[in-house]
Amino acid sequence: MSLELVCPAGTLPALRAAVDHGADAVYIGFRGATNARNFPGLNFGEAEAAEGIAYAHRRGVRVFVALNVYPSPGTWSAATDTIDCTARLGADALILADPGLMQYAARRHPGLRLHLSVQGSATNWRAIEFYRREFGIRRAVLPRVLSVTQVARLVARTSVEIEVFGFGSLCVMVEGRCALSSFATGQSPNTHGVCSPAHAVRWEETPEGRQSRLGGILIDRYAPGEPAGYPTLCKGRFRVEDKVFHALEEPTSLNALDVLPALIASGVVAVKVEGRQRSPAYVGQVTRLLRSAIDLCEASGAGRTAGGDWTVPAELVAALDALAEGRTHTLGAYHRPWQ
């Protein structure tokens, strides 16, 4: 079975770009704080979602809906309404983190395919099997903290399909367990759907240079002409003793193409691209490049064994680096050769 390429779509134009450039599936979210990319101007209303699903289905592409936050009592009805809407529109799967919502979906819409979100923080096969046994999940998205060896061991112990991240921004925390934004802004990404809520972001022009703050906390200061990314607390530069540096995480993108044969050989069924906050142009370009890489790798036969002979074409690496956060990439936790 060919490895599935799952791409982000924060808007209808981005969905079309992903579909047109070779995605096998796209994932979307509805407006409001029901998903982990709750930015102004992003996400779908019901009519747009219906149009996007129809567009994708006509071209043989599946659509997954992300409802990957943990609702409070006050937001429970909004979350269940999103589940009902997802089923009504005929989406191909619902991506969930909260066990209560899984129970609701499994009982109210037994025909709706359920995927365990990366926000569920399931990093071992026993946790994944629990969600399968209790709620009937069909797929789990792994947090970006496991090595390739650990991924392979997990896949071998569960009947649930496994999806992993292959490209896009990294998360220094185990997804679903981060408290940094809650500390800085009073709003957790696990309940409000965004690491850096727009109301808490401030840009300031000072004699020392442009600087960014989140919830009043100085995150970064930029030299003249230096690119200034959207402020995220874990990717800021902080003074530790006498040095100022990226103390938690450097702005860099995950690119798993070097270990693609090992991931394919492990039995992973899908590779996911992070980036529902990205532009349609970005989504289209990344989708096209990853589609080419996956097709070349599979055609070479490198994925038949974990140590398959595979060299990522230099032009693909350069093109993806040009789109990457920090203009560079890493294998992150995937690369632990000592295991």
Q: Please give the model's pTM, rounded to 2 decimal places.
A: 0.88
176: region left, alpha or beta (phi > 0 left; psi from -120 to 50 alpha): left
pLDDT digits (tens, 9 = 90+) for 149-206: 999 999 999 999 999 999 988 776 667 677 788 888 888 777 776 788 888 899 998 8
State the Rg of the chain over Cα. Answer: 20
Phi–psi pair at 15, nearest 5 degrees: -60, -45
The pLDDT, as a whole number, for residue 184 is 85
pLDDT tens, residue by residue, 213-226: 998 889 899 888 88
Cα dihedral sign for 9, 13, 19, 21? negative
Q: Other C-beta atoms within 10 Å of 264: how many? A: 24
From 47-56, 231-240, 271-280, the region with the lowest mean pLDDT: 231-240
- Ordered domains of the chain (ranges, CATH): 4-170+252-334 (3.20.20.70), 180-245 (no CATH)
Q: In this structure, which amino acid lies at residue 202?
A: R
**pLDDT for the residue 274:** 93
Residue 41 gets which letter from DSSP?
T
How much is the mean pLDDT over the chain?
90
